[in-house]
Each structure stands twice: as structure tokens, then as C-alpha cells.
Amino acid sequence: MQMPLLKQTLDHMGIQRLELAGWEADDLLGTVARRCEAAGWACEIVTGDKDSLQLITDTTHVCHVKTRMGQTETIEYTPEVFRAEYGFDPIHMIDLKALMGDSSDNIPGVPGIGEKTAKDLLVRFGTVRIFTAILTRWTSSPACAKNSRKGARARSCRSTLPRSARTRPLISHPNPPSGIGTTAPSSMTGSGGWAF
């Protein structure tokens, strides 16, 4: 019910909007952000979806909008702001979600690992690949065999971490129609922007 009204409103305001059958808006955001970056343009993404935080670069910033208890807060994430809050680089949002899971993206995560523990692991180890390599080495060590409780939990953690979630980005980059992101729309060079 809301989407047709929103599209009509954006059209009346002269704000270009993009949609592509079979692709989610965040996939198009990722594509446009990378194309803007390749063309040397600054890209500002305004969203309530934390998945877009993985797109942050020196030229792509994400304004994350959240409303809590009737109060709306907007944080502009640059690489520095993101690192100060999370303790690791933005691209590792993929690793964070792989560890803690996200039901809205069908990422099961590792049972018993929430956001705080996942952040701590990434700050300590850097990536899920390094963490799982260490787990693999440790679970096959004599020390692990001596402590069966910790060893069982580590083996469970390693085996529960889905292979697809370890490596796949949260936002894919579709091959959109040739006009998307190849030239600056008039709304991008003046006031306004793109809406997805």
C-alpha cells in the first residue's frame, strides 16, 4: 500500500528512482555506490538498513537512520566513524553477520554468539576466515582434547558457521541495465538524488 504512493510522490518531486525485477534495493544501492566510486563521485546512502554499512569507503558514506522510542537519530558513517564504533573495517560487516546471524537475511549465524561477542571476535581475529582457521587448528590440538567441554563448543562453533555466510557479501552487485550509474542524472548534479 505504501510503495505505490511513495513511488508516485518521488516521481512528482522529480527524484529519479531505480528498480530492477529480481533485485532488492540494497543490491542496487551497492551497485550504484561502486559505480559512483569508479566514476570519482561521492556517494551518500541514507538508510535504516545496517547491511549498507559494508559499503562505506572514503567516497561512500552511509547515513544510518534509526528511530527508537519516538526519537529519530541519524549517524553519518565514514570509515573512521565506523571503525571507532565497531573496532574493525566496514567490509567486515559481512563477517559480523556471519557470526551473529540475521534472520531477515536468512543468515543463521553461530548459536550462542550475539553482536557483542561477534564484535569482540572480529576485533581480536580480524575476519571469520582467520577465526575459523584458529578454531580448526585448536580443535585438533591435544589441549582441546584435554578440555572436552571447551573443545566441543569450539567444534560446534566451527561446524555451525555456514560456509556461504563466511564468504558471501550481504549486498550483491547485480549487472543492471546499462543506464544505471554510468552517467550522472540531473537530480544527482543538482538538489535531490536517487531513491530506491
Identify whether the C-beta of residue 37 lies closer than 8 Å to the C-beta of residue 57. Answer: yes
Look at residue 47 and tell me whether its pLDDT is greater than 60: yes
Identify whether the C-beta of residue 54 lies closer than 8 Å to the C-beta of residue 86. Answer: no
Look at residue 142 and tell me whether its pLDDT is greater than 90: no
Share of the chain above pLDDT 70, in %: 67
pLDDT band of 24, cuts 50, 70, 90? confident
pLDDT band of 192, cuts 50, 70, 90? very low
pLDDT band of 117, cuts 50, 70, 90? confident
Pairing status of strand 71-77 against strand 16-17: unpaired
C-alpha–C-alpha distance, residues 93 and 52, integer Å: 9
pLDDT band of 188, cuts 50, 70, 90? very low
pLDDT of the residue at 182: 41
The grid coordinates listed for 7 are 513511488
Contacts of 188 (CB under 8 A, 6+ apart): 16, 41, 194
The grid coordinates listed for 126 are 580480524
Look at residue 196 and tell me whether its pLDDT is greater than 80: no
The grid coordinates listed for 73 are 537519530
b/e per residue, 98-134, with b = 16+ CB within 10 A?
Answer: bbbbbeeeebebbeebeeeebbebbeebebbeebbee
Quickly tell me which residue has 561512500 as its cell.
60
Count of helix runs (H) and strand runs (E) in the chain: 10, 5
Which segment of 29-43, 56-70, 141-155 scores lowest on mean pLDDT? Answer: 141-155
Backbone angles phi, psi at 130, to 5 degrees: -65, -45
